[in-house]
Amino acid sequence: MQKFDQVTSIPTPFTQVNVDTDIIIPAKHLKTITRTGLGVHAFENIRYGADGALTGEAVFDRAPYTEATILVAGENFGCGSSREHAPWAIADMGYRCIIAPSFADIFASNCVKNGILTITLNTEAVRHLALDGEAEAEITVDLPAETVTAADGTVFNFTYNPVHKEMLVGGLDEIGQTLQDEALITAFEIRQKAAQPWLYNRD
Amino acid sequence: MAKTVFDKIWDAHLVKELGDGVGLVYIDRHLIHEVTSPQAFDGLRAADRQLRRPSAVIAVPDHNVPTKDREKPNPDANSAAQLAALDSNCAAFGIEKIDMFDIRQGIVHVMGPEQGITQPGVTLVCGDSHTSTHGAFGALAFGIGTSEIEHCFATQTLQLKKLKNMRVTVNGRLPFGCSAKDVALAIIGKIGTAGGTGHVIEYAGSTIEDLSMEGRMTLCNMSIEAGARAGLVAPDAKTFAYIKGRTWAPKGMQWDMAVNYWQSLKSDDGAFFDKEVTLDATEIVPLVTWGTSPEDVIAVTGDVPAPESFKDPSKQAAAVSALEYMGLTAGEPMDRVKVDRVFVGSCTNSRIEDMREAAAMIKGRKVNVRIIEAIIVPGSGLVKHQAEEEGLDKIFIDAGFEWRDPGCSMCLAMNPDKAGAGERVASTSNRNFVGRQGPGARTHLVSPAMAVGAAIAGHFVDVRNY
Ligand code: SF4
């Protein structure tokens, strides 16, 4: 995974509330067996016309947002289905960070596993950053420092789960991290088997 | 310290504290299906990792299996590829798989409880958000993404942030014509789709105790629409009776040991809930969603709300676009809204009790001529078989419904079961999102009785006097 330290970009302002994962990536694109190439279908119902052609009118497809690596989103972003295709699609569009007033739980946890940082800020701060996006001004996200710096220099502090921070900053894989505790997992299984043997009848 | 059911299950599965409320949590049961697992197997292979405990994993195809003409070659190459990948991955990693033609095959959340895989006190995961369904048995059950599937494959654990506790108490007798689906919709209508975010919901109160296991599953199923990752009901005698004798259920002395443990899974007096909500079941009426979010709920006797009736400006804007998408006008009486298609099925409402509720509404009547298609999709081969034993299939077919083979079907329209643009569906599923049942399709979430009522009348009806 790519290491995450600082990211500077003109953010894409897309502050619609309750954007669910069906909007992010419609179910018909879930029939893949690989993780890449979903970006062209991301936000499809917003970006493509009835004829199936890209209209170019959606914010995602307008310069300078086509180059953006930060997305400024609305409340309860990523609600609905737990499909991980949603962060895959967003990552495939080139985004590395999403800033919103709130995220759906599963979506946020899927993001970190795919190297996407989700930052929760209050509505005022998010509005400020969305306006920067509209004004085509750059903002900077600094994960080690847990700050977002707006175009006018205003600094917004955020907090991020330290375990996840270590992963993103170090570009680590979560499975590798857990496997370091394999002995503890085995010990747990031995204890559980003694107390609840019925859970081990099929082993 | 007084603990909730969730606290107890969490503590019993904590392998290690990782700091900041994050725990390494042991997972007892892992259900997989064809859509979200292939990339996880790929990941294992790419990193040259092993599957830690194949016996804890069980696979079933459900999301895009055809619901008719299953024996014929699958017309959709992508679906076929996913189904084939599930076969070969299970074979390669030594996972038990229920085949598409097996009578036990069905929607993963219907199959798990039927096989006795779902038990009180277990941690159970699946790459599908409606895994919350299994909480009906007092299990900690929640949906995970593909990276977590891979993590669980390799380690039999997950790194999880401990959720908060929320209790939704529903008391009183549920009125005639209302079922668990109406309770679920009433709760979501009250707390909103973000009401349970960050929490595990424990459903309590006399109404919940009175619900059958099927009803509790319907309710826990929609916890996710209330924003919660998991929902659960403390196990009781009904729970134990349901599990007893099923394939994965403990037997003999182990059964007594298990029941003894399961009985301890109640929230202690004075256990702390970060959030509490109470509802009076006697006030619940048959409900319908009017918009594109499951919280957009009104009584079937109500009128389509005006966007100005919402305080929050963002909700107003959402209502304007929802009404436009749904082709509805503010003030229109809900029971005059005409329906084009009807779907009874999904992991919310495809169990035997739902089939009985649907059949009881028919009373010799026929599907209205304006209905393009009315399909009934049982949740599993076993539900299908049971319904046929009871003669319900004849009632459906005689009335003009199609009686299909089990699967997710029109719930997410990944297979050919879908609605066309602008078509209005009375659906017993759990999501009315834009495009969920096909591009441009308009979904109204309802109970099985309400769906069948709409099929017969051609528009929504108040099932209490229909
Ligand atoms: S029926 Fe619908 S909600 Fe349930 S598992 Fe299938 S797709 Fe998911």
| B281 assigned to some structural domain | no
Residue B452 has pLDDT above 90, yes or no: yes
Interior/surface letters A118-129, b for 16+ CB within 10 angstroms, e for the rest: bbbbeeebbebb
Residue B384 has pLDDT above 90, yes or no: yes
- One domain for residues B150 and B174: yes
- One domain for residues A129 and A143: yes
Residue B231 has pLDDT above 80, yes or no: yes
Q: Which two tokens stand for residue B93?
A: 């990693």
Q: Examine the fold and report which residue of B242, B275, B308 is the final residue of a domain before the chain moves on.
A: B275
Q: Which atom of ligand 1 is nearest to the CA of B429?
A: 2
- One domain for residues B211 and B353: no
Residue of A31, A105, A113 with shortest CB distance to B414: A31
Q: What distance in Å separates the CA atoms of residue A66 and residue A55, rounded to the nearest whole number?
A: 14
| A1 assigned to some structural domain | no
- One domain for residues A75 and A132: yes
Single out the residue of B226, B148, B146, B147 nearest to residue B188, CA to CA: B226
CA angle B327, B330, B333 (to 5 degrees): 90
Q: Is residue B243 a contact partner of residue B115, using CB atoms and an 8 Å limit? A: no
End-to-end CA distance of chain B: 51
Radius of gyration of chain B (CA): 21
Q: How many CB pairs under 8 A join A and B?
A: 177
Task: Note the pLDDT tens digit of each residue in B21-32.
Answer: 999 999 999 999
| A45 assigned to some structural domain | yes
pLDDT of residue A108: 94
In sequence order, the 6+-apart residues with CB closer than 8 A to the CB of B193 are: A18, A76, A79, B225, B226, B227, B293, B294, B295
Q: Examine the fold and report which residue of B231, B255, B275 is the final residue of a domain before the chain moves on.
A: B275
Q: Which residue has the tokens 């309860």?
A: A76
| B393 assigned to some structural domain | yes
- One domain for residues B271 and B303: no
- One domain for residues B206 and B314: no
Domain membership of residue A188 as a residue range: 173-203
pLDDT of residue B94: 97
- One domain for residues A90 and A178: no
- One domain for residues A110 and A186: no
Residue A34 has pLDDT above 80, yes or no: no
- One domain for residues A141 and A41: yes
Q: Is B252 exposed, middle or buried (0-12, 13-18, 19+ CB in 10 A)?
A: exposed
- One domain for residues B181 and B120: yes
What is chain B's mean pLDDT, rounded? 96
- One domain for residues B136 and B39: yes
- One domain for residues A77 and A10: yes
- One domain for residues A133 and A197: no
Phi and psi of B253, rounded to 5°?
-60, -35
- One domain for residues B151 and B205: yes
DSSP-based three-state secondary structure for A35: coil
Which residue's CA is the nearest one to ligand 1's atom 6?
Answer: B408
Mean per-residue pLDDT, A86-114: 94
List the CATH number of the domain containing B220.
3.30.499.10
Per-residue pLDDT band for B409 (boundaries 50, 70, 90) equals: very high
List the CATH number of the domain containing A75.
3.20.19.10
- One domain for residues A140 and A153: yes
Contact B433 A162 (CB under 8 A): no
- One domain for residues B269 and B226: yes
Pocket-testing residue among B32, B36, B62, ligand 1, by greatest number of atoms within 8 A of Cβ: B62
Q: Is residue A10 a contact partner of residue A68, using CB atoms and an 8 Å limit? A: yes
| B318 assigned to some structural domain | yes
- Sheet of B29-32: strands edge to edge? B96-97, B57-59, B29-32, B123-126, B140-143
Specify the number of domains making up chain A: 2
Other CB atoms within a 10 A radius of the CB of residue B276 amount to: 11
What is chain A's mean pLDDT, rounded? 93
| A167 assigned to some structural domain | yes
Q: Is residue B138 a contact partner of residue B5, using CB atoms and an 8 Å limit? A: yes
Specify the number of domains making up chain B: 2
The H or E element spanning position B427 is strand B424-427
Q: What distance in Å separates the CA atoms of residue B445 and residue B181, rounded to the nearest whole number?
A: 9
- One domain for residues A158 and A186: no
Single out the residue of B281, B263, B407 nearest to residue B347, CA to CA: B407
Q: What distance in Å separates the CA atoms of residue B113 and residue B60, rounded to the nearest whole number?
A: 13
Phi and psi of B365, rounded to 5°?
-90, 170
Domain membership of residue B378 as a residue range: 286-465
Other CB atoms within a 10 A radius of the CB of residue B96 amount to: 12
Torsion of CA B2, B4, B9, B15, to 10 degrees: -50
Single out the residue of B213, B21, B252 nearest to residue B114, CA to CA: B213
Pocket of ligand 1 (CB under 6 A): B 63, 107, 109, 128, 130, 346-347, 408, 411-412, 429-430
- Whole-model pTM? 0.88
Tell me if chain B has a CB within 8 Å of the CB of A118: no
pLDDT of residue A2: 81
- One domain for residues B397 and B368: yes
- One domain for residues B257 and B339: no
In sequence order, the 6+-apart residues with CB closer than 8 A to the CB of B446 are: B181, B286, B287, B288, B289, B426, B427, B428, B454, B460
ipTM: 0.94
- One domain for residues B297 and B210: no
Q: Is residue B181 a contact partner of residue B284, using CB atoms and an 8 Å limit? A: no
Q: Which of residues 120-159 of A touch B (CB under 8 A)?
A: none
Q: Examine the fold and report which residue of B244, B275, B306 is the final residue of a domain before the chain moves on.
A: B275
Q: What sign results for the dihedral spanned by CA atoms B357, B360, B361, B364?
A: positive
pLDDT of residue B416: 86
Radius of gyration of chain A (CA): 19
Task: Note the pLDDT tens digit of each residue in B263-299.
Answer: 999 999 999 999 999 999 999 999 999 999 999 999 9
The H or E element spanning position B375 is strand B373-376
Q: What is the DSSP secondary-structure string of A90-150?
A: HHHTT--EEEES-B-HHHHHHHHHTT-EEEE--HHHHHHHHHHHHTT--EEEETTTTEEE-
| A163 assigned to some structural domain | yes
Question: Which residues of chain B neighbour A31 with C-beta distances below 8 Å?
Answer: 35, 64, 76, 78-79, 81-82, 414
Task: Note the pLDDT tens digit of each residue in B315-324.
Answer: 899 999 999 9
Per-residue pLDDT band for A118 (boundaries 50, 70, 90) equals: very high
Q: Which residue has the tokens 């304006």?
A: B370
Q: Is residue B362 a contact partner of residue B400, using CB atoms and an 8 Å limit? A: no
- One domain for residues A124 and A183: no
- One domain for residues A79 and A163: yes
Q: Which residue has the tokens 């009781």?
A: B236
pLDDT of residue B296: 97
The H or E element spanning position A51 is none
- One domain for residues B268 and B305: no
Of A171-185, B178-192, B375-389, B427-441, the poorest mean pLDDT is in A171-185
Task: Note the pLDDT tens digit of each residue in B390-407.
Answer: 999 999 999 999 999 999
- One domain for residues A187 and A106: no
